[in-house]
Each structure stands twice: as C-alpha cells, then as structure tokens.
Amino acid sequence: MTPVTPAPMTIIENERRRDRFVRRVSIIAWSISFALVLAVAIIVGVQVSQFLDGAREGEVPWSVVVGSTIPLIDVLWKMSLLVATLSTVAIFLRLRTASLTEIQLRLAALEEMVAARGDMPDDNDR
C-alpha cells in the first residue's frame, strides 16, 4: 500500500499560511523596532534641544551638543544597515520562492493533465 500524499494545492496552501504568519510576525517586529527608534529619537531630541539652549547662552560647549546626538546617529545607522541587509536578502529569497512555487504549480498541473488522459502505464503492463 502506498502512503497517501496531500494534494499539491493543499501543500501550497499550507506554505501560504506559513508565509502569512511569518509576514505578520515580521510586521509586528519591525513596528516595535521603529517605535523604539522613534522613542530614542524623541528622548535624544529633547536632550539635544536642552543642550542647544545652553550652548546658545554660552553655559555649555558646542561639543556637548554634538556629543549628545551620537546615540541617535548610532541607532539610526545600525537600523538602516539592518534594513538594507534584510531587504536585500528578502529580495533574493522571494525571487527564489516565487520561482519554486511556479514550478510546483506547473508540475501539479502537468500531473493532473497526465492523470486525466488516463494513458499512464500500469505496473502490470510491464
């Protein structure tokens, strides 16, 4: 007895469900990341504005104002590097996944056409 294999469309639908789940998790993770970057930007912005007022009045040197922007610059360049790297990898993976899905669909359609014709040789004919 041969094991029962799920239909190709069932397999493809399961893959689509996994893709949707991963996409949702990714959207949530990126939203949290951008919210944290926004929070850091606001905190550093408030700090810089206070130092800027002090520097205008001569109470604080300008190097303190510039130095207080370093945490924001650090977070922003790391975030942009991360986004650039992940988006490049995602482009290549998506291209590969799209072509594999197309191959699966074509093979499934070919299998259905051959099965519908009914001229597949049986094991007894050999």
Share of the chain above pLDDT 90, in %: 3
**pTM (two decimals):** 0.57
Instruction: Give the CA distances from residue 126 to residues 111, 117, 120, 122, in Å, rounded to whole numbers and listed in that order.
Output: 21, 19, 12, 7
Domain spans of the chain, in order of start:
18-116
Helices (H), 1-126: 8-56, 62-68, 70-117
Specify the length of the chain in residues. Answer: 126
Average pLDDT, the chain: 81
Nearest CA-CA partner of 46 in 64, 69, 67, 79: 69
Does 91 score more than 80 pLDDT? Answer: no
CA–CA distance, 16 with 105 (Å, rounded to integer): 13
pLDDT tens track for 15-37? 888 888 888 888 888 889 889 88
Q: Give the residue-averaged pLDDT of 71-100.
A: 81
Q: Give the residue-averaged pLDDT of 38-52.
A: 89
Does 95 score more than 60 pLDDT? Answer: yes
CA–CA distance, 80 with 39 (Å, rounded to integer): 16
Q: What is the DSSP string of 70-84?
A: HHHHHHHHHHHHHHH
Look at residue 125 in the predicted model and tell me its pLDDT: 53
